[in-house]
A = this chain, B = another copy of it.
Amino acid sequence: MDLKELERRMIETRRDLHRFPEPAWTEFRTSALVAARLEGLGYALKMGSEVIDAGSVMGRPSEEEIDREIARAVEQGGDRERIERMGRYTGVTADLDTGRPGPTLAFRFDMDCVDVGEDMSPDHRPAKEGFASVNPCRMHACGHDAHTAIGLGVAELLTEMKGRLCGRVRLIFQPGEEGCRGAYAMMKKGVVDDVDFFLAMHIGGGVPTGTFGLNSLGYLATTKLDARFTGVPAHAAGAPHMGRNALLAAAAAALGLHSIAPHRDGAMRLNVGVLQAGTGRNVVPAEALMKVETRGETQEVADYVYGRAEEVLKGAAEMYGVRVELSKAGEGTTARGDEELVRRVGAALRASGIFRSVLDTVRAGGSEDATWFMRRVQERGGEAAYMALGADIAAPHHNGRFDVDERGMILGARAMAAIAESLLSQ
């Protein structure tokens, strides 16, 4: 295969995706595009409701918003038939079966964008070269456009290599990684239940182009939690005693949440990121919405802070005689890379010469829901790891001036191909 030509196609794909970014659970155009390409290459596909356990979905928009997003996706060129087949859910898995007995290797690619407005200054390359986001307040500022493009690049390489491999490769195109919303419902659907080797990879993250990190450490277990307080409205001057004040309940909860005691056994984080309460200046506020996230260095610490947060929210509601409804909007766990798998991948990549530098470990921080796939695979006897693909970036992740060194993409695709070659060698 002409790698230069492949790289050109991958860049074109990434830029197309960059123009049409889709946030969590609305990746209809992206999923349809992925499905079309992989179908052409002979992969066996599942998509949408076939790969998502609806009962386990977190943080999905309302049905009205899904309607609007489907219409938007079609208008932006999404294939209507494929989108209909998805049954209102996004996500794709694509299997390449070699026909020869052997292990199952899965790669995970995430597809969603973030809620950030893209910088339109002429010195921001996507703006200058005409592939900046056309969807307001939405942007691929985390590199998932590149991840998806890499997934499609690997798919081509694997097709060519198929004759030299045994077992099976599964490409998992996941919705809703942002906010840890999508992986859990895919995992619950059984998408990795038969997987022997699971690998996920993130581009950028402080690692420069030409460098690769074999084992990304330190993902925090996290829960994203929405709390909705409902009280009773009343005229604030005329009949204040008839009100039940949701704003004050939320205020007390915010202070209470931030005063949860730290844990001896590891770092802990809690943030009340958003609070919206009340309707009019002279009305006792009867509604409040609070967006919270909790994190822990270990699952035990995360469980402690989440458990205490529930107590605080319920107690604060009781204090003010209001109701509170809690709903999880996302969740991630901790994970560790398997030593033996990391060793094998490292040997393959070092032998391949693709990278100038291959690091044993890199420090990740933040949270990532590929951890659900990793944990599931490990529980069933498989091995898993999370890898860091170096690529220079123009600004921090989630920033409106984010851009990624596109040269990193072909390196990532080649790395995955080399890994498959090593793990699925006949």
Question: A residues engaging B (CB < 8 A)?
Answer: 115, 179, 220, 224, 236-243, 245, 247-248, 250-256, 258-259, 261-265, 267-269, 271-285, 288, 291-293, 295, 304, 308, 311-312, 314-321, 329, 365-367
Contact of A304 among B241, B284, B365 (CB under 8 A): B241
Contact of A281 among B279, B292, B308, B320 (CB under 8 A): B292
Smallest beta-carbon distance A249→chain B, Å: 9
Interchain residue pairs with CB less than 8 A apart (14): A179-B281, A238-B365, A240-B261, A243-B261, A245-B258, A247-B272, A251-B275, A253-B319, A262-B269, A273-B281, A274-B277, A275-B277, A311-B318, A315-B319
- Beyond contacts A262-B268, A308-B321: 19 other A-B pairs, Cβ-Cβ < 8 A, are A115-B280, A224-B281, A236-B273, A236-B293, A237-B293, A237-B295, A240-B264, A247-B273, A248-B259, A255-B255, A258-B259, A258-B261, A262-B262, A273-B282, A273-B283, A274-B278, A274-B279, A275-B288, A319-B319
Contact of A314 among B237, B242, B318 (CB under 8 A): B318
Known: A248-B254, A281-B271. A263 touches B241 (CB 8 A): yes
Contacts of A311 in B (CB 8 A): 318-321
- The residue of chain B having its C-beta at the shortest distance from the C-beta of A276 within the complex is B276
Smallest beta-carbon distance A64→chain B, Å: 18
Smallest beta-carbon distance A369→chain B, Å: 14
Interchain CA distance A366-B238 in the complex, whole Å: 7
Smallest beta-carbon distance A331→chain B, Å: 13
Q: Are B275 and A280 in contact (CB under 8 A)?
A: no
Q: Are B261 and A241 in contact (CB under 8 A)?
A: yes
Smallest beta-carbon distance A218→chain B, Å: 11
Interchain CA distance A283-B273 in the complex, whole Å: 6
Central interface residue in A115, A255, A288, A329, by most chain B CB within 10 Å: A255
- The residue of chain B having its C-beta at the shortest distance from the C-beta of A241 within the complex is B263
Smallest beta-carbon distance A247→chain B, Å: 6
Smallest beta-carbon distance A411→chain B, Å: 27
Q: Are A237 and B275 in contact (CB under 8 A)?
A: no
Interchain CA distance A285-B275 in the complex, whole Å: 9
